[in-house]
Structure 1
Amino acid sequence: MSPMALFMITLGIIISTLTVTSANHWLTAWLGLELNMISILPVITKQKHPRSTEAATKYFLTQAMASALMLFSSTLNAWQTGSWDITQLNNKLSCILMISALTMKMGAAPAHFWLPEVLQGSTLTTTLLITTWQKIAPITLLYMISNHIQSNILLPIGLLSILVGGWGGINQTQLRKMMAYSSIAHLGWTMAVISIAPNIALTNIIIYMTVSTPFFLLLTSSSSKTLQTMTTTWAHAPTATIIMMLLLLSMAGLPPLTGFTPKLLILDKLVMHKLTPAATTMAILSLLSLTFYLRTTYLLASTTSPTTTQSTTLWRLKPNYYQITTILTPIALFNITILPALLT
C-alpha cells in the first residue's frame, strides 16, 4: 500500500471516529459510522487472498445492515418526538432498534457471527484495529443513550455475550478467533452494566483495550497466529513470553492484575442494584473464558528451559522484533500494574 493511500485511510478512520464521538445529531453520527466502515474496508482487503475478500464482504454487509437499522431507528424517533438529538432517544421502539444496530456494529451476541470470521481473514494488525479502535464509536453512542435504556434489555444481551464469548473461545486453536471471542465476552461485561453505571462500563472497555493492545502487538511482532506457534516463544523471547502470560491473566480477570478491577466493580454495582442472580451468573460464565486464557498461558509456560520445544513449526522473528519488545514491555507492565491507582 502506498504511503499516500495509507495516510488517507488512517486519516479517514481517525476523523470518522472523532465525528461520531463529538456528534449531537443522529445523521452526523450515522455519517461518521459510514465513513468509518468505508475507511476500514481497504485495510481488511490489503492481503491478496480470498479469505480477506470474504472477510471484507462479511464486514461490509453486516455494517451496512446495522447502519440501515440505525438510520431507521433515529428517523422513527425523530418522527415521534420531533428531535434528532442523540441524548433524546425517548421512543421505546427506537431505543430497542438502536440497541440492536449498535450490538450488530460492535459484534456482541446474538449478532456476533461475523466477528470471528472477519478477524480470521484479516492480519493481526487489522484484528487489533477492529477489536479496539472500531469499538469506540458504537460504545460512545451506547454510552450517550444509556439514560434511556432499561437494564432488562441490555442485561440479557450482556449475559449471552459472556456465555458465547467463553464457550466459543474454548474450542479455538487460532489466536485471532480466540481473541474475537474474548472481545465478545468483554463486550458482554460492558453492556450488562452500561445502563446502571455507564462510567464503570466505559472503564471496563478502556482497560480491555489498553491490555489487549500490547498483546496483539507482541503477537504481530512474533508472527504467532496459532496456539502451536506460541509454544516456541519462550526459547526465542523469554521477556515477551512473560509479558504475554501476564496480559492473558489480566484479561482473564485474575487478581491482583488490572483486568480484575472492572469486573469487581461491575459485580459490586449489580449487587447494589439487587441484581445478585445476574452477577452470580456472570461470575460463573466468566470461568469459561478463564479456561482458554489459562490454556494459552500454560502453553506459553510449559516450554520453559530446560524443557524442549513441543512444536516443530518454524519460528519467524521480524527484523525489528527486539526493538518492538523493548518498547512494548514497559507499556504492557504499566497496563498490568495499574490496579493500585484504580483502587485508590
Structure 2
Amino acid sequence: MFNNSSKIMFISILMMGTMISISANSWLSAWMGLEINLLAFIPLMSDNKLMSTESSLKYFLTQALASSVLLFAVILYLLNSNKMNSNFIMEMMIFSSLLLKSGSAPFHFWFPNVMEGLSWINTLILMTWQKIAPLMLISYIIFKPLMLMSTLLSALIGALGGMNQTSLRKLMAYSSINHLGWMLMAMYNSNSQWMMYFLMYSFLTFMMIYMFNAFKVSHINQLFNLFFHSKTMKFFLFFNLLSLGGLPPFLGFFPKWLVIQSLTFNKQMFLLSFMVLTALITLFFYMRLSYSAFMLNNYENNWMHNSSFKSNYMNIFLTLSFFSSLGLFLISSLYFML
C-alpha cells in the first residue's frame, strides 16, 4: 500500500481531516474536517475490485447522509440558539449523525457490509482511525438518553451479530460494534477512560489484522488449517482472539476492567450487568472458535511440517502477542501506581 505515492498523499489528507475535526472550535470546521477525511478515504477504499467499489459507494452514501444531517442540524442550531425545545432536537440530530458516522447501533447497518468488501489494511483504518473524529465529537456533546440507548444496543447487536458469522471481516465488524458500546459507556463516565479503551482496542485490532493480512485469511475455517507447523503460533493466535473478547488474564480485559470499576463506583448495576452479559456472549463465540481449533480440528498433515512461512511476520506477531497475552499485569500495575 505504501509504495504508491498517491496512497501516501490520501493517507496524509485522511489524517489531516481527522486532526482538523478534533481540534476544531466550531461545528462548521468540525464538519469540514469530517468531509476532508471522507473524501480522502474513498480513493483508498476503491482498488479496482467489484466488492471494494461497492463498499466504497455504500460508505460514501451513508457518510454523505450523516454529513448532510450534521450540517443541517448545526445551521439550525446556530439559527435557533435561544429556543430551548429546538436545542433539544438539534442536539439529538447532531448526536445521531455522529453515531451514524462511527457505525454505532442503531445506525450500524452499513458497517458489516462495507467491511466485507475491503482489504485488510482498509478494514484496519475503518475500525480504528475513522472512529477517532466522530467519537471525539460525541464526547463534546454527550446527549444522555440517546447515548445510553446506543451503548446498550451496540453491546447487544455486536454480541448477537457475530454468533452466526463465518467471514472474519464480518466477525471483526460485529466485534467493533460491541467494543463501540463499551467505549461509549467509558465516555459516559470519563474522557480519559474511553481514550485508554480506544488505544487498547486499536492495538489488539492491529495485531489480529496484521496476522490476517500476512497469511491472507478471510474465513474462519482457514484459521483451523493455519500454523500446523507451530503450536506456539496457533496458541498465540487464539489467545489474541480471546484477548480481543476481553477474557481476564489477557490485556483486552484491562479497559473493560476500568469500565466495570467505574460502573460499580457509580452504582449503575443494571448497566454493569447488561454490559458484562453481552461481553460473555462475544466471549462465547471466540471460545467456540478456539475450542474447535484445538480440540476438534487438530489433525496434522506431514507435508506441512517443512513448509516455510514468512519468518519476519511470525517474529513481529509473536512479539505483539506476548504483550497481548501477558501485558495485563504490567499495564495494570503501572496504571494503579500512577
TM-score (norm. length: structure 2) = 0.89
**Aligned letter for 1:122?**
L
User: Quick one: distance in 2 between partners of 1:272 and 1:79?
Assistant: 41
Q: Contact 1:248–1:293 (CA<8 Å) still a contact in 2?
A: yes
**Aligned letter for 2:92?**
I
1:93 aligns with 2:86: no
Measure how far apart 1:276 and its partner are: 0.8
**Aligned letter for 1:342?**
S
User: Quick one: distance in 2 between partners of 1:217 and 1:303?
Assistant: 26
SS of the residue 1:194 aligns to: helix
Match of 1:220 in 2: 213
Measure how far apart 1:168 and its partner are: 0.7
1:115 aligns with 2:111: yes
SS of the residue 1:61 aligns to: helix
Match of 1:266 in 2: 259
Task: Compare 213-222 and 50-59 and name the one that shifted more.
Answer: 50-59
Task: Compare 49-58 and 224-233 and name the one that shifted more.
Answer: 49-58
Measure how far apart 1:302 and its partner are: 3.7
Partner deviation per Cα, 1:102-132 (whole Å, 9 max, x = no partner): 1111111111111111110111111111111
Match of 1:80 in 2: 80
Let me know the Cα RMSD of the aligned residues: 2.3
1:204 aligns with 2:197: yes
Q: Contact 1:252–1:293 (CA<8 Å) still a contact in 2?
A: yes
Match of 1:87 in 2: none
SS of the residue 2:291 aligns to: helix
SS of the residue 1:233 aligns to: coil
Match of 1:44 in 2: 45
Task: Compare 23-32 and 106-115 and name the one that shifted more.
Answer: 23-32
1:69 aligns with 2:58: no
User: Quick one: distance in 2 between partners of 1:41 and 1:57?
Assistant: 8
Measure how far apart 1:295 and its partner are: 2.2
Q: What is the correspondence of 1:144-183 to structure 2 with a 5 Å cutoff?
A: 144-146=140-142, 149-150=143-144, 152-183=145-176
Structure 2 runs not aligned, ≥5 long: none
**Aligned letter for 2:111?**
L
Q: Contact 2:251–2:323 (CA<8 Å) still a contact in 1?
A: no
Measure how far apart 1:239 and its partner are: 4.1
**Aligned letter for 1:139?**
L
SS of the residue 1:235 aligns to: coil
Measure how far apart 1:256 and its partner are: 1.9
SS of the residue 1:165 aligns to: helix
Q: Contact 1:19–1:29 (CA<8 Å) still a contact in 2?
A: yes
Q: Contact 2:224–2:297 (CA<8 Å) still a contact in 1?
A: no
Match of 2:182 in 1: 189
Partner deviation per Cα, 1:231-273 (whole Å, 9 max, x = no partner): 1112145443232212111111111211112212212222332
SS of the residue 1:172 aligns to: coil
Q: Contact 1:218–1:240 (CA<8 Å) still a contact in 2?
A: no
SS of the residue 2:217 aligns to: coil
**Structure 1 residues 337 and 97: CA distance shift in structure 2, 3 A:** farther
**Aligned letter for 1:337?**
L
Q: Contact 1:69–1:98 (CA<8 Å) still a contact in 2?
A: yes
Measure how far apart 1:7 and its partner are: 1.8
SS of the residue 2:24 aligns to: coil
Of residues 319, 322, 329, the one that matches 1:333 is 322
User: Quick one: distance in 2 between partners of 1:131 and 1:70?
Assistant: 21
**Aligned letter for 1:230?**
L
Match of 1:286 in 2: 279
Partner deviation per Cα, 1:139-189 (whole Å, 9 max, x = no partner): 11112334xx32x33112111111111111011000000000000000011
Match of 2:60 in 1: 60
User: Quick one: distance in 1 between partners of 2:176 and 2:158?
Assistant: 7
Measure how far apart 1:289 and its partner are: 0.8
**Structure 1 residues 226 and 168: CA distance shift in structure 2, 3 A:** same
Q: Contact 1:116–1:181 (CA<8 Å) still a contact in 2?
A: yes
Q: Contact 1:234–1:303 (CA<8 Å) still a contact in 2?
A: no
Measure how far apart 1:304 and its partner are: 8.1
Structure 1 runs not aligned, ≥5 long: 83-89
Q: Contact 1:166–1:181 (CA<8 Å) still a contact in 2?
A: yes
User: Quick one: distance in 1 between partners of 2:166 and 2:89?
Assistant: 40
Q: What is the correspondence of 1:243-262 to structure 2 with a 5 Å cutoff?
A: 243-262=236-255
User: Quick one: distance in 2 between partners of 1:195 and 1:93?
Assistant: 20
Measure how far apart 1:327 and its partner are: 2.1
Match of 2:332 in 1: 342
**Aligned letter for 2:33?**
G
User: Quick one: distance in 2 between partners of 1:233 and 1:320?
Assistant: 10
Count, aligned residues: 325
SS of the residue 2:97 aligns to: helix
**Aligned letter for 1:185?**
N
Partner deviation per Cα, 1:84-112 (whole Å, 9 max, x = no partner): xxxxxx93222211221111111111111
User: Quick one: distance in 2 between partners of 1:209 and 1:175?
Assistant: 17
User: Quick one: distance in 2 between partners of 1:132 and 1:243?
Assistant: 22
User: Quick one: distance in 2 between partners of 1:193 and 1:156?
Assistant: 14
